[in-house]
Amino acid sequence: MNIEFLAPDVVKIIAPAKLSSEDFNHLAPEVDEVIKRFGKIRLLIDATHLTGWENIGAFETHAGFIKNHQSKVQRLAVIAPHEWQHWLVGAIRIFLHPQARAFMPDQEDEARRWLTA
């Protein structure tokens, strides 16, 4: 998982094809530091190559990461080429976070503008 800082409180996460527990163990301290400094974080997740999780443990770690951080996410933009990913972001918007939107891979500029608006 690659992490880029687009602004002090805006983080871009580039997901690998398969998410692992280690990805979230690496990501959590980075995200926690931004939250500590700003109180909230805005996330751009590039899920262009994401196909799923390495195993059930990775899925559980991902779910725990979401549970522990979702209240501190001001906005969440997900770049995703697959319909199932857009559906998942829609579910996130309904159940966890109203400020979540999915974008197609060719809409990254729009996603960045929405995050910083």
What is the pLDDT at residue 86? 83
The conformation of residue 96, written as its DSSP 8-state character, comes to T
- CA proximity to 77, closest of 51, 24, 114: 114
7: left (phi over 0), alpha (psi -120 to 50) or beta: beta
What is the pLDDT at residue 25? 93
For the chain, 117 residues long, the average pLDDT of each consecutive 10-residue run is 92 96 94 95 95 95 90 93 83 76 95 92
pTM for this predicted structure: 0.88
What is the pLDDT at residue 97? 66
User: Where in the chain are the domains?
Assistant: 2-116
What is the pLDDT at residue 64? 92
CATH fourth-level superfamily of 2-116: STAS domain (3.30.750.24)
CA angle 42, 45, 49 (to 5 degrees): 175
